[in-house]
Structure 1
Amino acid sequence: MSTKIFVNLPVKDLAKSIAFFSRLGYTVNSRFTDDNAGCLVISDSIFAMLLTESSFKAFTEMEIPDTATSAQAILALGLDSRAEVDELVAKAVAAGATEPRGATDEGFLYGRSFADLDGHLWEAFWMDPAALPD
């Protein structure tokens, strides 16, 4: 069984968020995009639904966390190489993201992070399973 994941993220400015992620090389599925939501295609089975805050609130009665002071999740993207990790984070920062902490390098695991325009945390990482310690 193949499972797809659709992560729903509230955004303050849908057009700016779509432009940001487009600069990172991701595409938007226009069939599931309108004035209230943008369907960001991360891979064949991973999508992020960028929802205006009012649309996001239709799914929950809970408050949207203030990303300046709290984190609800860290979205981790496994990439094929260390170079891809560096490239993605460099594109994100050039497009307006911040890098909340420096790179981590454990030999078999390399990662960097960025906070997108709305403060959502993303972790880009590469791992060499053959080099995992016992």
Structure 2
Amino acid sequence: MASKMIFINLPVAELERSKSFYEALGWKVNQQYTDGNAACIVVDDNICLMLLSKDFFTSFTDRAIGDARTTVNSLYAVSLASPAEVDTLVDAAVAAGGTEEVNADKRAQETQVGMHGRTFIDPDGHQWEPFHMAYPGAN
């Protein structure tokens, strides 16, 4: 097991719909940590999403849950190995019921630094920023 992992806890309106959405992206459900209240989605060996029904999510905090469809509190950026992987992931997200957000100014800035990125919004309004960056000296 890795010494450090990141678990991103996301409140979701419909757990089964959200599980299906992320499975359509090629990410796997870890059944060991999945039940009627939550689903563990494995992005890679060190990153997991915990999809939590809104009722269950509220058991972790006294603060109100924001509506991710109307306000932004976080952007989830994921570095991928190639521009093709970025395109494949976003295309899968859109095909699975997500929406793509296109920001021409952001894309122009990314192009200047050798970066290829796109943005998708999941069915609950969570914003994802998959990207590939050609680092200096990288093959």
Q: TM-score range by the shorter chain?
A: over 0.9
Deviations 1:81-131 (A, max 9, x none): 001101100000000001122472415111001000100000010001117
- 1:14 maps onto 2:15 in alignment: yes
Counterpart contact for 2:90–2:119, Cα < 8 Å:
yes
Are 2:113 and 1:112 aligned?
A: no
Give the 3-state SS of the residue equivalent to 1:119 in structure 2: coil
Structural mapping, 1:32-43, within 5 Å: 32-43=33-44
Alignment TM-score, normalising by the size of structure 1: 0.93
Q: CA deviation at 1:67?
A: 1.6
Counterpart check, 1:50 vs 2:51: yes
Where does structure 1 lack aligned partners over 5 or more consecutive residues? Answer: none
- Alpha-carbon distance in 1 for matches of 2:3, 2:134: 24
Large movers: runs of 4+ above 3 Å: none
Any stretches of 5+ residues in structure 2 without a counterpart? none
Q: Secondary structure at the match of 1:129?
A: coil
- Please state which structure has a larger fraction of its residues in helix: 2
Identity of aligned residues (%): 45
1:1-134 aligned at under 5 Å gives the runs 2-102=3-103, 104=107, 105-106=110-111, 108-130=114-136
User: Aligned pair count?
Assistant: 132
TM-score by length of 2: 0.90
